[in-house]
Chain A
Amino acid sequence: MSSAIVMHGLTKDYGSGHGLFNLDLEVAESEVFGFLGPNGAGKTTTIRLLMGVIHASAGSATIFGLDCDRESVAVKRDVGYLPGELPQFGGMRGSEVVTYLGGMRGGIDTARVKELSARLELDLGRRFREYSRGNKQKLGLVLAFMHRPRLLILDEPTGGLDPLNQQTFHHLVGEVKASGTTVFLSSHVLSEVEETCSRVGIIRDGRLVSDMTMDKVHELRFHEVVIEFGGDVPEAAVRAATGVEDVAVDGLRLTCTVHGGFDPLLAAISAHTVVDMVSREPSLETLFLSYYKQ
Chain B
Amino acid sequence: MSARLLLRLHRIGLIAMAYFSIFYVLVNSAAFPIIAGKTRAAQEAFGHSVTVLGATFAWLLPLPVRPDTAAGYLQWRGYGFFAIVFAVWGLFSACGAVRRDEDRGLVESWLSSGVSRLRLLATRSIFFAALSAEIVTLAGVAGWLGCLIAGTPADVAGLVGESAALWALTLACFGIGLVVAQLVGDFRAAASAGGVVLLLMFLLDSIGRSSVHRAPFTDISVFFLFNQSNAVAPGGSFDLVATVLLFAVCAVATVAAAAAFVRRDIGSGLIRQRPRGATEVHEASTNPLLRIPVIRGLWIRRIGAVGWTVGMAVAAAAVVLLVNATATFFATTPSLSSYLRGLAGNVHTVLLALIWLSFAQALVAILSITTVSRWSGDDSSGVLEMQLAEPLPRWRVLAERATELTVTVTVASFVAMAVILALAPAEAIAVDIGNLLIATALLIPFALTFAAVGAVLAGWRPRVAVVVLSTIAAISYLVFELGPLFKWPSWADNLSVFQLYGTPLITPVFVGGLIAMLAIVIVGFGSAGVVLARRDVAA
Contact = CB atoms under 8 A, between A and B. Distances in A.
A104 B536 contact: no
Interface stretch (B152-160, B356-364, B387-395): B387-395
A15 interface: no
B382 A87 contact: yes
Interface stretch (A34-42, A46-54, A194-202, A252-260): A46-54
Given A48-B539, A54-B539, A103-B291, A93 B285 contact: yes
Interface in A6-64: 48, 51-55
Contacts of A96: 285, 287, 290, 300
B386 to A, nearest CB: 6
A125 B292 contact: no
A77 B389 CA distance: 9
B534 interface: yes
A90 interface: yes
A110 interface: yes
Given A83-B386, A129-B186, A103 B392 contact: no
B280 A123 contact: yes
A292 B296 CA distance: 53
Nearest to B297: A100
Contact of A90 (B103, B279, B296, B539): B103
A223 interface: no
Nearest to A104: B390
Contacts of A100: 290, 296, 300
B390 A101 contact: yes
B392 A104 contact: yes
A73 B388 CA distance: 8
Nearest to A54: B536
A40 B238 CA distance: 60
A124 B282 contact: yes
Interface size for chain B: under 10, 10 to 19, 20 to 34, or 35 or more residues? 35 or more
Nearest to B105: A88
Contacts of B393: 73
Interface string A86-98: 1111111111101
Contacts of B381: 87-88
Contacts of B290: 96, 99-100, 103
Contacts of A117: 282
B280 to A, nearest CB: 4
A92 B296 CA distance: 12
Contacts of A126: 276
Contacts of B382: 83, 85-88
Contacts of B104: 88
Contacts of A85: 382
Interface in B378-424: 381-383, 385-393
A81 B188 CA distance: 31
A277 interface: no
A209 interface: no
Contact of B388 (A51, A86, A94, A122): A51
A73 B391 contact: yes
A105 B391 contact: yes
A81 B292 CA distance: 22
A108 interface: yes
B281 interface: yes
- Chain A to chain B: the 10 pairs with minimum beta-carbon distance, closest first: A125-B281, A103-B291, A87-B382, A54-B536, A104-B390, A95-B285, A99-B285, A81-B389, A117-B282, A76-B391
25 contacts: A51-B389, A53-B385, A54-B539, A55-B534, A73-B391, A76-B390, A86-B382, A86-B386, A87-B381, A88-B103, A88-B381, A88-B383, A93-B285, A95-B285, A96-B290, A99-B287, A99-B290, A101-B390, A102-B291, A103-B291, A106-B391, A114-B284, A117-B282, A124-B284, A125-B276
